Amino acid sequence: MSKVTEIFASNVFDDRVMKSRLSAKVYNSLKNTIDLGTRLDPSVADAVAEAMKEWAVEKGATHYTHWFQPLTGITAEKHDSFISPSPDGRVIMDFSGKELIKGEPDASSFPSGGLRATFEARGYTAWDPTSYAFIKGKTLCIPTAFCSYGGEALDKKTPLLRSMQALNKQALRILKLFGNDTVKHVSTSVGPEQEYFLIPQELYDKRKDLIYTGRTLFGSKPPKGQEMDDHYFGVIKPRVEAYMTDLNEELWKLGILAKTQHNEVAPAQHELAPIYATTNIATDHNQLTMEIMQKVAKKHGLVCLLHEKPFAGVNGSGKHNNWSISTDTGVNLLTPGETPYENAQFLLFLCAVIKAVDDYQDLLRISVATAGNDHRLGANEAPPAVISIFLGEELEGILKAIETDTPYEGIEKKVMKLGVSVLPRFTRDTTDRNRTSPFAFTGNKFEFRMLGSSNSIACANIMLNAAVAESLKIYADRLEGAENFEEALHQMIKKTITDHRRIIFNGNGYDDAWIKEATEVRGLLNYRTTPDAIPHLMDEKNVKMLTEHKVFSEEELRSRTEITLENYCKAVVIEANTMEQLARREILPAIEEYAAFVAKTANAKKSLATDLACTYETETVKKLSQLASDAYKSLDKLAAALVKVQGAKDVIEEGYLIRDELLGVMDELRASCDEAETITAAKFWPFPTYDELLFGVR
């Protein structure tokens, strides 16, 4: 047995471990809860807790924690030891079913968006048996949901599970109409690709903007960036390869299916991609992946940057969300088959996604809206803020034939001939890939490419699951009462194609002409920034759909609107304050020091010969003085803009003020400082430059 197969999932209380440590009765009951959603028997919880504790203690664990995902964007955990006092004054290792099922962390310091008053501190964590417990360090981590004393969801897991439940319910209705009575459960699966940057720890420690905000707020472009396309899929540097090796091992121990690794487009940028997992588990795994990526980096003297745009002028980092729908019998409902034109079930599920994306394009945009992602979307490196779907030549042809009631002639499958006899011939796929599309069909799944690298994938999948569930509900309501199922099905597919053709676009999503066509001709939405997008979460149609499917309550939606905008405002205000501090305390003094040095040099030269030309010195001092003056004026404007932002009457107004006034001043300040960097001697500049940061790992 290889080392990989020995260590894989060695720190996970997975199905294999449960089967070996639980009685058949307990195991079968728990499996029914996991696979079919049946209610958990309390006696089963006691047996599972005992087995889980024994397994964890054997592996050296001393503590347990309910591991949850509050609305902070990261995970949270409170550790309790297994010890309990015994009558003889010693201790025993104990863990009950009650402790497994329910925890009680203080909820007062987690974002609630007004769901509870500050003094209402009680919150609950509830065991999620569909996601396996795991050991991290010496702690048994139990994935849980997190709710308030009143039962409102304060996390991202709870609405995700609700959305999966909603989609399962409606998908089963559709499958029964096609005679698929053996299917008991339908779930979505996700494979999130994770992009990131690696930079040396010693350089990171000298950049307060990276420490405070995760991105560089100042920095001029280096002479070489990504222009030569020589980093993408290039040879991985030994230091990075050593990091990736350790990272894979740590992820594999936790049962995370890390599969692909390579250099990305920008210098110092890389990617990791896993094999697909059920959406709930994939979300847990991605949160763990981001945490472990950063921990392992420190062991190698590196820092892993997960910000969407840590460096201006080179590509930022995204997280492609590869999403599909499958049955418990192993059928991928988005697989076209050999003859997709004749596969009515596939076409109906395809149309459900098309309808969902068009009807709820605003919710998909909202699901990826953050301050960091605003820098990336539409920057000729990531999809625009306008949502569209790429289907490819074959599916486009099929839908057109259905829409026009004409025969589909099909696409000839071509054999690739590369002109070298020793190279194998293979059949070319019937469609190309479109890397500029926000939402692309890629064979048997959809790739949602708008997520930022630091985003939790829960948000996007909640909205996607719920929107598709709504499409399927509408279809099921109509088809269940149809006199002629075949005719009603055909007309429904045809109507969907006609009504939602505007969302389908197979061209270049980076082209400005497309944005003009999308918004002015097709009427698609273009919410360019987070303040533009988030308030629409409370639009009547969105509230109606999400509450009817019981994914959110109206109060939970209102709280998330508040929290998301609040997080956006806090992030940008922290950036603005950091810029002000760096410019006043470090950059302006450095410019002045270098200008004084150059002026002193000029005076020294003149003392040697009065007619000696000092053109370089004179012009340099003039330029630096002008840039310092410009930066100082921008700092005054920045301070005034911050006062105005802080005086906003509510978080929506604050977001608009940041968008309309603060961000422009920040760009103005940066422009002056970055230009000054290009003419200031390196030894005078106060912190590491882009040259060092992007090319420092050798």
- Find the mean pLDDT for residues 110-118: 66
User: Which of 49-58, 83-92, 393-402 shows the lowest mean pLDDT across its residues?
Assistant: 83-92
The pLDDT value recorded for residue 590 is 97
Residues 6+ apart with CB under 8 A from 692: 203
CB 457 within 8 A of CB 190: yes
Contacts of residue 474, Cβ cutoff 8 Å, sequence gap at least 6: 355
For 581-610, the pLDDT digits (tens) are: 999 999 999 999 999 999 999 888 888 766
What average pLDDT does this structure show over 222-228? 87
Return the pLDDT at 402. Answer: 84
Q: How many domains does the chain have?
A: 3
Considering the chain, what is the average pLDDT of its residues? 91
pLDDT of residue 1: 46
Over range 633-653, report the average pLDDT: 96
Residues 149 and 240 in one domain: no
Tell whether 216 and 149 lie within a shared domain.
no
- What's the rounded Cα separation, in Å, for the pair 279 and 281? 6
Q: What CATH number has the domain bearing residue 291?
A: 3.30.590.10
Does 494 reside within a domain? no
Amino acid (one-letter) located at 49: A
pTM of the predicted protein model:
0.93
Q: Return the pLDDT at 248.
A: 97
Is 690 inside a domain boundary? yes
* Beta-carbon contacts of residue 335 (< 8 Å; ≥ 6 apart): 346, 444
* Residue 432 pLDDT class (50, 70, 90 cuts): low
Residue 359 covered by a domain: no
> Strand 63-67 and strand 139-148: pairing?
parallel
Q: Are residues 114 and 256 in the same domain?
A: no
DSSP, collapsed to helix, strand or coil, labels residue 290 as: helix
pLDDT at 458: 97
Please provide residue 535's backbone torsions phi and psi, each rounded to the nearest 5 degrees: -55, -25
- For residues 633 and 470, give the distance between their C-alpha atoms in angstroms, rounded to a whole number: 53
Residue 145 and residue 242 in one domain: no
Percent of the chain residues past pLDDT 70, beyond the cut: 93
Tell whether 209 is covered by a domain.
yes
Band the pLDDT of 119: cuts 50, 70, 90.
low
Q: Is the pLDDT of residue 611 over 70?
A: no
Q: Which of 143, 138, 1, 142 is nearest to 58 (CA)?
A: 138
Does one domain contain both 131 and 240?
Answer: no
**What mean pLDDT is predicted for residues 494-507?**
94
The pLDDT assigned to 426 comes to: 46
Asked if residue 112 has pLDDT above 80, the reply is no
Average pLDDT over residues 492-516: 92
308 falls within a domain: yes
The single residue listed with the structure tokens 């064979």 is 443
Of 302, 317, 332, the residue at which a domain comes to its end is 317
pLDDT at 618 over 70: yes
Q: Are 360 and 533 in contact (CB under 8 A)?
A: no
Q: Examine residue 638 and state whether it is found in any structural domain, yes or no.
A: yes
| Residue recorded with tokens 């709504």 | 470
Last residue of a domain, one of 271, 297, 317: 317
User: Would you say 153 and 288 are in contact if contact means Cβ atoms under 8 Å apart?
Assistant: no
Question: At 221, is the pLDDT very low, low, confident or very high (cuts 50, 70, 90)?
Answer: very high
pLDDT of 380: 64
- Looking at this protein, which amino acid is placed at residue 690? Y
Q: Is the pLDDT of residue 428 over 60?
A: no
* Residue % of the chain over a pLDDT of 90: 75
Please tell me the least confidently modeled range out of 71-80, 664-673, 679-688: 71-80
The domain of 148 spans: 3-155
Tokens matching residue 159: 């609405």
Q: What is the mean pLDDT of residues 120-144?
A: 90
pLDDT digits (tens, 9 = 90+) for 669-681: 999 999 999 999 9
Spell out the residues 6+ positions from residue 481 whose beta carbon is closer than 8 angstroms to its own. none
pLDDT at 104 over 90: no
Question: Which CATH number characterizes residue 674's domain?
Answer: 1.20.120.1560
Note whether 21 and 108 are same-domain residues: yes
Residues 337, 341, 345, 350, CA torsion sign: positive
- 413 pLDDT band, cuts 50/70/90, is low
Rounded Cα gap, residues 327 and 168, in angstroms: 9
- Range in 106-120, 489-503, 528-542, 543-557 the model is least confident about: 106-120
Residue 427 pLDDT: 52
Contacts of residues 56-59 at CB distance under 8 Å and 24 or more positions apart, as own/partner, are: 56/13, 56/82, 56/135, 56/140, 57/82, 57/93, 59/11, 59/135
**Residue 150 in this model has a pLDDT that exceeds 90:** no
**313 Ramachandran zone, left/alpha/beta (phi>0; psi -120 to 50):** left
SS3 180: coil
Residue 676 lies in a domain: yes
pLDDT computed for residue 414 by the predictor: 56
Check: CB of residue 494 under 8 Å from CB of residue 406.
Answer: no
Tell me the CB-side half-sphere exposure of residue 658, using CA atoms within 13 A. Answer: 26
Report whether 573 contacts 645 (CB < 8 A): yes
Domain boundary among 317, 343, 360: 317
Same domain, 111 and 243: no
The amino acid occupying position 67 is W
Q: Are residues 150 and 236 in the same domain?
A: no
For the ranges 160-164, 283-287, 335-339, 428-432, which has the lowest average pLDDT? 428-432
Q: How confident is the model at residue 257 (pLDDT cuts 50, 70, 90)?
A: very high
Judge whether 318 and 174 are in contact, CB under 8 Å.
no
Instruction: Give residue 38's pLDDT.
Output: 79
- Token pair for residue 158? 């709870």
pLDDT tens-place string over residues 166-220: 999 999 999 999 999 899 999 999 999 999 999 999 999 999 999 999 999 999 9
Residue 48 counted as domain residue = yes
Let me know: does 292 contact 298? Beta carbons within 8 Å: no
Are residues 148 and 207 both part of a single domain? Answer: no
Residues 303-312: tens digit of each pLDDT: 999 999 999 9
The secondary structure of 398-453 as a DSSP string is HHHHHHHT--------PEE--S-TTSPPEEPPSS---TT-SEEE-SSSEEE---BT
Annotate 87-153 with DSSP letters as a single string: TTS-EEE---HHHHHEE--B-TTS--TTSS-TT--BEEEEE-TTS-EEEETTEEEEEEEEEETTS-B
Q: Are residues 124 and 219 in the same domain?
A: no
316: helix, coil or strand? Answer: coil
Residues 138 and 207 occupy one common structural domain: no
Same domain, yes or no: 24 and 134: yes
Q: How would residue 421 be classed by pLDDT, with cut points 50, 70 and 90?
A: low
The answer on pLDDT for 615 being more than 60 is yes
What separation, in Å, do the N-terminal and C-terminal C-alpha atoms of the chain show?
A: 34
Q: Are 332 and 478 spatial neighbours (Cβ–Cβ below 8 Å)?
A: no
Cα R_g (the chain), whole angstroms? 28
More confident residue, 113 or 188: 188
